[in-house]
Amino acid sequence: MRQALKKKGTILACASAGLLLLVAGCGVNPDEAPESAGHTGPDARFVPAQSGKAAKETKATPRESGTIRVAGKAQGSLTPDLIKAYSRGGGTTSVTVNDENENQAFRQFCAGQADIVDSARPISAAEYQKCIANGIQPVQFQVASDAAVLAIKNETDVGTDCLSFDEVRNIFRAGSTINSWTQVGYGHDLGGDANEPRMKVAGPDENSNVFGFFGQYVLGDPEPTMLSVRSDYQAFPTDAGVRRAVVGSNRDFRAAAQFERSRQVYQGILDSLAENRRAVRDARAEVAKGIADERPAEDRARDRAKLAQAKKNLKNLEKSLPAARRYTAQNRAALRRLAEVRGTLGLFRFSYYEAFEEQLRPMEISASNDFSKPECIFPSQATVTNATYPLARQLLLTINYKNMKDPDINEFLVQSLSRSQQEAEKAALVPLPDETQETELAWLNGSTEPDIIFYESGAGTSAGTKQEADSASGE
């Protein structure tokens, strides 16, 4: 069966539609995708609006004026921050939030029991069909983006710079048997290279939003915990801890940079010790010779002074030797630790990677699991915002087209979109580009019609996924 995805306009092709195609085309088996991922099926395609049939006549969702019902709370959602900002800004409408999962939230929305869905995925084909059957036409507003970035230490060669989606899952999943870079990578000689480092993985602990998103979307665990990842996963409570596991600590960098100088100083002390020991021996012999030769008292006193100075120099050098030895050993240990982190693959939030990109080398992720046809995508502001980067997600608010002009909903959305960039930056998310923000605000002020994404050609409960079956049955 072919599902045809239709849309009105073009802007959302780089917004919600980008993620729709992404999940279908990134190599994730739709039958194995986590329920929070959403998808359109392997045969989804875009059809220009003018070439298809008009959508079924829709109607407004019955609702109480002055109260906005938000269903769902996406992992790492920006919506709670937007609601707080709305209240602080003098918003008079009451906004209630039910923290159901995304599937339950879309079911409520399509049943007319919610005004807005907070999600990190677009509406699925089955959910769309349910909405249309009830006369509800979904419109999705993007408020921010986020992404997981996998990175190694900069200027490190592990034999590949692109991983497939399946490889990412297999590297991090519980029970993973991948422990060498020779086992993964497009264009990689899987025969092995003894010079390539052992693979180690590090990332945030289970309290992190990026851990939750990665666990749900990539590992397929609706409620990810440390049991979801491989047993040697190095978990850290802060992004800085993950970065140090990947590139080493700043202290080690400073110490390693001093190793050669400290080694030279230590060797210089050893050389000086040998010279000063000879100087003491020579001075002692000269004192003895002066006595034997019955030199004048002044000459013998001068010989004794030279011996005393040689002994003093030797003693000072001997005192400085342990400290020089420890300093050199510490710097050598720092070098060793930096060598040990080579090959460690870290899991980062995009905004943190971006702040330290001079230290980190990101892996490109392919939207294809076909080694003969890789589609390697580099994480960037653009590829994260339009969700062409396979580990990106868009934070979306879905509303009914017929309720878009309701004064309270319209006011809330206008204020939320107007504040979304500032709130996204505060939450370490990727803000909307100005162009996208302006386009979506134009939808709300009525100067342009919104992009409407919808499915046709019988797309319904027969796509074969648990998510679609559950959505269609209303369970």
The DSSP annotation for 193-235 comes to -TTSPBPEEEEE-TTSHHHHHHHHHTS--SS--GGGB-TT-EE
Consecutive H or E run containing 338:
helix 297-341
Quick one: tokens of 90?
């003098």
Please give the CATH architecture assigned to the domain spanning 4-146+379-473. Answer: 3-Layer(aba) Sandwich (3.40)
Q: Which residue shows structure tokens 């850290």?
A: 236
pTM over cut 0.75: no
Nearest to 452 by CA among 6, 2, 43: 6
Q: What is the mean pLDDT of each run of 10 residues along the chain (475 residues)?
A: 37 36 31 31 32 60 94 90 94 91 94 95 90 93 96 90 93 94 72 66 94 91 93 95 89 81 90 92 92 90 92 91 90 81 93 94 88 86 92 94 95 96 94 95 93 55 30 35
Domain ranges of the chain: 4-146+379-473, 256-338
pLDDT the model gives residue 437: 96
CA distance 394 to 9: 19
Q: Where are the alpha helices (DSSP H) in 347-406?
A: 350-355, 381-385
Question: How many C-beta atoms surround the C-beta of residue 296 within 10 A?
Answer: 10
State the DSSP string of 240-275. Answer: HHHHHHHH--HHHHHHHHTHHHHHHHHHHHHHHHHH
| Residues, the chain | 475
Q: Which long-range contacts (CB under 8 A, 24 or more apart) does 228-233 make?
A: 228/173, 228/174, 229/172, 229/173, 229/174, 229/201, 229/203, 230/171, 230/172, 230/173, 230/174, 230/175, 230/176, 230/201, 231/174, 232/200, 232/201, 233/172, 233/201, 233/202, 233/203
pLDDT the model gives residue 25: 31
CA distance 155 to 235: 24
CA distance 190 to 199: 14
Measured CA to CA in angstroms, residue 290 lies from 280, 281, 282 at distances of 15, 14, 12
